Structure 1
Amino acid sequence: MMDSSSYKRYDVHGFNPRQYLENYLSDKPDNDFKDDVLKFPIETLDNTFKVGHIKGDVLIDLSASSFVHHLYAACEFFKHIIVLKISDRCILELKRWLDSRTGAFNWGHAIKFHAEIGGNSDELVDKERKVRSAAQHVVLCDLEKENMTHPIVLPPADCIISCVLLEAISKDQDDYIRYLRKILGLLKPGGYFILIGALDITYYTVGNDRLHALTYDEEFVKKALVGEGFVIDDCKVKKRTTMSHHTDFKALIFIAAHREKCRSE
């Protein structure tokens, strides 16, 4: 087995975001990750937002690669979606889709699945239009800076979504908590945080590169959120359904939580 210290780092070396999407989120027949990486986030987010209490003006998304599928449900409940990326290459790949450019990654299978679970197959084109309209602000960020989007100052968010990013950029659990705290600082008092993560993972591959991922379990991430003053409203764990050499995660976790307001508020 390769020494994990020799793995590349997403935040240091980057990766090819298009290759990442092809590996884990494409509609190719040989993609083993559809149920886990594609359908699980769409279904859990759709069910969460349908309840109706998570909504507002501003949603901030801070996720790995150039994901779009996890924003389909959110676009109905927020006027503005601000997408933060730690890589210029991921921004370029995302904007290729947002701007409807030739050669953009095809998310048609994901939007079709979203429409199917919502029982409305007539909304396919309208849903893509809504996501593109809402997610017009795509910003490069650096979590090591005091203001991660300097010189841009972000408005406080009603909700933040983070999908499989923290495990990709954290060297250890202290790093994870430090970055988590930085991200949660973007929330309004009483705001909501939605996390989708990979449990018990050590690596994932993009092309010929094997990249580092931080290993953590359900107890760790719940304790981290409670330690930051959050109440966990919902938690779901989905065990991995297929084996593949591309990555070794054991399960995916979905958490929806809200920040407790101070008693004086």
Structure 2
Amino acid sequence: MDSSPHKVYHVHDFDSRQYLEHYFSDKPDMAFGDDTLNFFIEKFRQVFAVGHINGDILIDLSVSSFVHHLYSACEFFKNIIVLKANNRCIMELKRWVDDRTGAFYWGHTSALLQEKEENSDQFQDQESKLRSAIQHVVKYDPEKENMTDPLVLPPADCVISVGLLDVISKYQDDYIIYLRKFSRLLKPGGHIIIIGTLGATYLTIGKDKFHVFTYDEDFVRKVLGGEGFIIDYCKVKERTAVSDLADYKSIIFIAAHKEK
């Protein structure tokens, strides 16, 4: 039996709305803006602007139900399929996709993207573009060999995963196994983009602490290489947030492609 006092993301109840309020909101006391808003938007904008990551299908496997990391992606992919592990995350995301009353407010993030773009008019209606691009929201189980069983997804040109490997992996072998499953969703030569937290052990949602797998940059580089990926871009950003809600030391952004 697991003796850890921390809950596990895909096993225990995870309050997606409270997570968004803690780490992604526009509230004045939200400490994580530079790390989870500016950094996410800037790195994805930068990587997609190069122009070699594109295609028909993108699959997003990220923690919770944030959307701003996909703003730039929807300019380069016709269809986005989002996979979520629990019903609360699915409901939260669908509320936003359907533009329903009570959806989480993301206007502050689309405004950040406009500020970073020279031609900001192109991105003025980025939320609507992204809503149209998200074709399916699908529940998955990371423990299954085919995570979306019985549904078989079409092979993707790109897989994005933000924070998910950190919270579903307890040990190094878990991380490798889950990354391998993510890799199977790709076409030969497809791309993967991963954001993770380095040196973390927990994140807090309300009164609960959730487990986070502890690793460093060398580990994730070696794992990607071992799974046949060539790293095209890597950036590590030291933490700027002052808060005890989470104890990560830095954030890593990696874009890589699978050898054919």
- Pair 1:60 & 2:59 matched: yes
* Structure 1 unaligned regions, length at least 5: none
CA distance in 1, matches of 2:56, 2:92: 26
Q: Distance in 2 between matches of 1:145 and 1:55?
A: 28
Q: Quick check: 1:59–1:80 contact (8 Å CA) kept in 2?
A: yes
1-structure distance, mates of 2:119, 2:248: 33
Counterparts of 1:106 and 1:39 in 2: how far apart (Å)? 16
TM normalised by structure 1 equals 0.95
Contact 1:8 1:209 in 2 (8 A): yes
Instruction: Answer yes or no: is 1:29 the counterpart of 2:28.
Output: yes
1:116 Cα deviation (Å)? Answer: 1.0
Residue equivalent to 1:178: 177
What amino acid maps onto 2:85 in structure 1? I
Unaligned runs of 5+ in 2: none
**Pair 1:255 & 2:254 matched:** yes
Q: Deviation at 1:123? A: 4.2
**1:57 alignment partner AA:** D
- Using the alignment, how far apart are the partners of 2:142 and 2:48 within structure 1? 27
The one-letter amino acid of 2:51's match is G
What's the offset of the Cα at 1:4? Answer: 7.9
In structure 2, C-alpha distance between the alignment counterparts of 1:39 and 1:4, rounded to whole Å: 36
2:34–2:241: 8 Å Cα contact kept in structure 1? no
Q: Is the contact made by 1:112 and 1:121 (CA closer than 8 Å) also made in structure 2?
A: no
Aligned to 1:140: 139
TM-score for the superposition, normalised by structure 2: 0.97
Secondary structure of 2:11's aligned partner: helix
Q: Residue type of the partner of 2:41?
A: I
For 1:14 and 1:79, locate their aligned partners in 2 and report how far apart those are by CA, in whole Å.
33
User: 1:47-103, CA deviations, whole angstroms, 9 ceiling, x for partnerless residues?
Assistant: 000000000000000000001010000000000000001111100000010000001
Q: Which runs of 4+ in 1 moved over 2 A?
A: 119-126
Q: 1:125: Cα distance to partner?
A: 4.7
Q: Partner amino acid for 1:63?
A: S
What residue number does 2:216 align with?
A: 217
Counterparts of 1:8-27 in structure 2, within 5 Å, are 8-27=7-26
Distance 1:75 1:11 in 2: 27
* Residue aligned with 1:10, SS: coil
Matched position secondary structure for 2:128: helix
Instruction: State the Cα deviation string for residues 188-227 of structure 1 (Å, max 9, x = none).
Output: 0000000000110000000111110000000000000000
Q: Which residue of the partner structure matches residue 225 of structure 2? A: 226
**Counterpart residue type for residue 127 of structure 2:** E
**Would you say 1:42 and 2:41 are equivalent positions?**
yes
Per the alignment, residue 204 of structure 2 pairs with 205
